Amino acid sequence: AQSVTQLDSQVPVFEEAPVELRCNYSSSVSVYLFWYVQYPNQGLQLLLKYLSGSTLVKGINGFEAEFNKSQTSFHLRKPSVHISDTAEYFCAVSNAGGTSYGKLTFGQGTILTVHP
Amino acid sequence: KAGVTQTPRYLIKTRGQQVTLSCSPISGHRSVSWYQQTPGQGLQFLFEYFSETQRNKGNFPGRFSGRQFSNSRSEMNVSTLELGDSALYLCASSLGLKATTEAFFGQGTRLTVV
């Protein structure tokens, strides 16, 4: 079984400040890791993913995340946020060893609010 | 390239009724997964279909069912609706590999049960 914990349910930050959204996971098998963003009344949009290779992954809208296998973490960062980044962010994992068959396991979400 | 299309966007149903939601995946994608999103439980996996066969199933009662057609479009059905079924239902389309490497989501169907 896999589980994902997003350590902060809400993160308020001022515009142009840096932000880090924290994600830890638990799994007995290798995983693929994802960050999604959800704007109000919308579906989920993929920000970035880690499948293999370099542990620093760059995504859309200036976001990046670092996979740390020893700490089982996949924290999301952005050096300078904009008002338009206000949304809910979800960390997710899938079973890399096969047979996940379409299943993503999600964290509970972090609401990022960017203040002017 | 068209994205994932879910219809309808909003639904209001009465307790005890049944409902059918539809999802059209990205062209070329053969896998469709369904998720329920609620404030209390978050995003929970319902089931996945690939080539008209259910390959994976989450921990939901039998009132929740689905199917997939030969053109990869999928429907999910909820029978005997309960107030707790009120949620945003999301579908995701992918290539259908054994391990999920990327999934694209639709905008969801907001179901309200009164």
Ordered mean pLDDT values, 10 residues apiece, chain B (114 residues): 91 98 96 96 96 94 97 97 98 85 93 98
Count other Cβ atoms within 10 Å, centred on residue A1. Answer: 7
d(CA A42, CA A26): 28
Question: pLDDT-derived band of residue A1, with 50, 70 and 90 as boundaries?
Answer: confident
Contacts of B42 in chain A (CB under 8 A): 106-109
**A41 has a pLDDT exceeding 70:** yes
Counting Cβ atoms within 10 Å, is residue B15 exposed (0-12), middle (13-18) or buried (19+)?
exposed
Inter-chain CB proximity A49 and B101 less than 8 Å? yes
* H/E segment holding residue A90: strand A87-95
Q: Given CB atoms, is A29 within the 8 Å cutoff of chain B? A: no
Question: pLDDT-derived band of residue A26, with 50, 70 and 90 as boundaries?
Answer: very high
Counting Cβ atoms within 10 Å, is residue B109 exposed (0-12), middle (13-18) or buried (19+)?
buried
- The pLDDT value recorded for residue A96 is 85
Mean pLDDT of A11-28: 97
At residue B65's C-alpha, the angle toward residues B96 and B41, to 5°, is 85
**A72 has a pLDDT exceeding 90:** yes
- The pLDDT value recorded for residue A101 is 83
Question: pLDDT-derived band of residue A102, with 50, 70 and 90 as boundaries?
Answer: confident
- The pLDDT value recorded for residue A50 is 95
| A62 and A80 Cβ atoms separated by less than 8 Å | yes
- The pLDDT value recorded for residue B1 is 63
d(CA B84, CA A84): 32
Our CA-based measurement puts residue B41 at a distance from the nearest CA of chain A, in whole angstroms, of: 8
